[in-house]
Amino acid sequence: MPIRTNRGRAAVYRRLWGFPLRSPRHLAGTAIGVAILIIAIGILVPQLLGPRQDNSVTPARIPDPASSAAARPPAGSSVPVSTRLTAPLAQPTSALPSADALNIAKLWALAWVNHPAGITNAQWLDGLRPYTTDEFLPQMSTVDPANIPASQVTGEPAAAQSYTSSVLVVVPTNGPKLSITVAQTTAGWRVAQYDQAS
């Protein structure tokens, strides 16, 4: 029986590794074979390892300050306080729309459409200020009143969504409808956001 030399082994390896490079058909066949092998491994290995454990995260809830006050350690205590949320966030509570919220939305819309020629942004903002939250007013300072596509309110405000602490109000104008979010604040109902609805 002839003994294989290192030179014979090298020739066998050259034939194996050179096979894909002999022609485009060989290369495509080799690529398809490798892809099928990878897919088969991807399917078989998880089945051999067993079922996956569910590591999904449950949504957290901000605890009620009143109920968590009793569980809070006394001031100066060295007991560590957990900041992890352990229950789902509280959903807003539906409520009938507040007449005051609807009125504020209408007054805000009337101030929004009031932009005669030559009015400055500061003058226009002064009209919105009594009905707008302090946080939202700086965002409104970027609006050029000359670009507002409406000049009058054409109907009564209607609540699209209503909760105990906020109301989404739609106000029709002679331009686009306004979708106004009115929020309950320490100063009363104030506009916290708006968008131009179609």
- Helical (H) or strand (E) element with 33: helix 24-49
pLDDT in tens, 85-143: 555 556 677 888 889 999 999 999 999 999 998 899 999 999 999 999 999 999 988 88
Do the bridges between strand 158-162 and strand 166-171 make them parallel or antiparallel, or are there none, so unpaired?
antiparallel
Say yes or no: 185 and 126 in one domain. Answer: yes
Q: Which amino acid is at 8?
A: G
Q: Distance (Å, rounded) from C-alpha 136 to C-alpha 189?
A: 13
Q: Which amino acid is at 112?
A: W
pLDDT in tens, 92-101: 778 888 899 9
Q: Distance (Å, rounded) from C-alpha 26 to C-alpha 34?
A: 12
74 located within any domain: no
- Two tokens at 39? 């897919």
Say yes or no: 36 and 107 in one domain. Answer: no
Whether the per-residue pLDDT at 154 is higher than 80: the answer is: yes
Say yes or no: 110 and 44 in one domain. Answer: no
193 located within any domain: yes
CATH number, residue 119? 3.10.450.540
184 located within any domain: yes
75 located within any domain: no
For residue 107, count CB atoms less than 10 angstroms from its CB and return exposed for 0-12, middle for 13-18, buried for 19 or more. middle
User: Which structural domain, as residue segments, surrounds residue 18?
Assistant: 6-49
- Two tokens at 138? 């700086």
